[in-house]
Structure formats: C-alpha cells, structure tokens
Amino acid sequence: MVDRYNRKKLLIITQFSSLIFAFVLGILTITHTINLPILLLLTLLSGIANAIDNPVTQAFVVDVVGKEDLPSAVGLNATLFNTGRVLGPAIAGYLIGLIGIGNIFLINAASFLAILISLYFIQINTQVTNKRDADPMRSIKEGITYSYFHPLIKILLLTAAIGAIFCFSQATIMPVLVGKIFQSNTQALGELLSATGLGALIGSLIVSSQFKKISPVWFILTGNVMFIIATWTFSYTSNVEFASICMVFSGLGLTLQFSSIYSSIQKLVKEEFRGRVSSIYVLLFIGLSPLGNLFIGSTTSWFGPQLAIRLCLLITALYGIAMMFYLPRVKKRYIMYNEKTRPEYALAKTD
C-alpha cells in the first residue's frame, strides 16, 4: 500500500482511524459499558491501523526531508518520542487521578487532531512508485527478494530482529525485578523506566547532531557494547539509584544502535522499494517483540529475572561478535552487489 497509494492520504486515514478508536474507548469507559470483547476488538483495529501507519510514516519522512537530512529527522523524532517516555507516565498518572481514565482516552483522541491538522498543511507530492494494478503478491515477493539480496539491508534487518527479541524484552519483566530484587514499589519502577527514557533521549540527540560526522557502523557497535555492559551491570545490583544510572546508559546504547540502523536502511533502499522494506522492518522490529516477551518471561519463570536478562545479553553479544567477523565478507558482497556481477542481484541494484 505504501508504494501504491499517496502516503499523505494513507496517513490521514490511519490517524483518523486511531482518533475514532480512542474516542470510542473513552466514551465506553466513561459510560461504564466497556467490556473485554469490545476492548479486544478496539485493540485489534488499532493494531491494524498502526501496522499500516508505521511504514507509511517512515517512507513519508523521506518524502518530506530527503535522504541527506534523514538521520537528523530520525534523531529529532526519537527525541520527541523519548521525551514523551520520560514525561508521559508522570503526566498521565497525575491526570488519571484528577479527571479519570475515560477522560484521558478522550484527550488521547483529541491529540490526533494535531497530527491531522499538521498533515493538512504539509504540501508535498509523495512518490507513488508501484502501479496499482500490479499483482500484490508479486510486489510483496519483490520487496522480500530485494531485502534479502541487498547485503547491507539484509544484515541491518536481521540485527533489528535480534534486538526486538533479545534487547527490548527486558522492559516486560521490569515489574518483577522491582518487586523481587529491589523490594520496592511502582515509584522505583517509574524511576527505572524514566532513566531508560532519559538515556534514549540523550542518544537520539547525539544521533541527530552527529550522524553526518560519525559513521553509523560506529554508532551501532558502540551502542551494542554500551547496552550490553550497562544492562549486564544492572542485572547484578539491588540498589535503585545505581540501577537507574545503569539504565540511562542502557537506553543510550539502544538508541544509538537502533536509530542508526533505521536511518541506514532508509538511506540505502531504492525509492520503489521503500514502502515494502519499511514494512519488513516494522514486521521484524515490532512483530517479533511478542516472541522476545515470551522468551524472557519463560526464562524468568525458570531461572529468575536476573539470569533471564543475562541470557538475552549473552545471545546479543554472541550475535555481535559473529557480525564483527562477518563484516569483511559483507563488504565484499556489497562491492559485488554494486557491480551487479551476479544475476540474482539485478533486482536489488542500488541507485
């Protein structure tokens, strides 16, 4: 859909749909008529809207700012997102006590109006690169083939998948850690999550300002090492203050790594495949998260939360080491890819 239809119009549809779902949830909550089946239905519909919205947004950002300024735009977007992660829970907690949960959902619905108004004033011709009458299944297959035979995009997508499963899943068991290891309450949980958001905020500012000056490979490798060391140290402490410091560097490392991965993919991909590659990225990065939650939840039940985190970090470290040794081969294949010396690379030839 991203490569077939006007991206601005798609964004208007997905954002308006999200507004309606939030509004319905708010009204049903206020009138005490919400129930589990309706909640599941609204969640399903919201998930579908988000599944379309995410890759459309990624492609639309490139339409607006271009490839050269894309890293800065990604960094600024991550800055806003992570600022929300730091401030959002505190503001929401205060407002829930003040006006109630149902009204919070209505405020959330109203917030989509700001996005819709912004989209209305953005005057840009988005690129439609794929014919509407093309066979959808063939188009999907072409996108997968392109991603698979592009040496760099393939590795970046694989790294995003590993991160989705083994790097971001620790947040799932954070409440267990707070209760069992830190012997504390929701206040400590809020401190740890806010510390992670603060680190991510710092990381997004660094990526935004330095991406053009520093190689993304450096950001990815440094972020990976920083995340592993900080989170490994975190898994051995029972002091909330020291743990919060560790989580700042953990969030910083993750953001350095994955903001750079996303920016690199968007800079490398050919325009006619941008929507499909963005969709694959979203599928791997968001779609595999439940597997990571299942893995760390199961290992926590068997070995406890600290050992579960260390096991995820061990797998992440082994993958990172393997990629270090594999990097020279990737460079060689990328040269072959650009020279189009093998017929299977023909479809995925770069600009």
Please provide the average confidence, as pLDDT, over all residues in the chain.
84
Each residue of 243-273: pLDDT tens digit?
A: 999 999 998 998 888 888 888 888 888 888 8
User: What pLDDT was estimated at residue 249?
Assistant: 95
Q: Percent of the chain scored above 90 by pLDDT?
A: 30
User: What pLDDT was estimated at residue 131?
Assistant: 60
Each residue of 79-89: pLDDT tens digit?
A: 677 667 667 76
Of 241, 217, 207, 181, the C-alpha closest to 327 is 217
- Distance, in Å, from the CA atom of 146 to the CA atom of 161, rounded to the nearest integer, reads 17
Of 8, 5, 62, 141, the C-alpha closest to 351 is 62
| CB 240 within 8 Å of CB 184 | yes
Task: State the distance between the two ends of the chain, measured CA to CA, in whole angstroms.
Answer: 22
pTM of the model: 0.76
- Distance, in Å, from the CA atom of 27 to the CA atom of 29, rounded to the nearest integer, reads 5
Q: Where are the domains of the chain?
A: 7-122+140-345
What does 258-276 look like in DSSP terms, one character per residue? HHHHHHHHHHHS-GGGHHH
User: What pLDDT was estimated at residue 323?
Assistant: 87
User: What pLDDT was estimated at residue 348?
Assistant: 47
Q: What's the whole-number mean pLDDT along residues 303-328?
A: 90
User: What pLDDT was estimated at residue 13?
Assistant: 95
User: What pLDDT was estimated at residue 133?
Assistant: 59
Each residue of 19-73: pLDDT tens digit?
A: 999 999 999 999 999 999 999 999 999 989 988 898 888 788 878 887 777 777 7
User: What pLDDT was estimated at residue 168?
Assistant: 84
For 7-122+140-345, give the CATH class. mainly alpha
User: What pLDDT was estimated at residue 341?
Assistant: 43
Burial of 253 (0-12, 13-18, 19+ CB in 10 A): buried
User: What pLDDT was estimated at residue 25?
Assistant: 95
In this predicted model, which residue has the larger pLDDT, 347 or 317? 317
And the tokens for 270?
């050919």
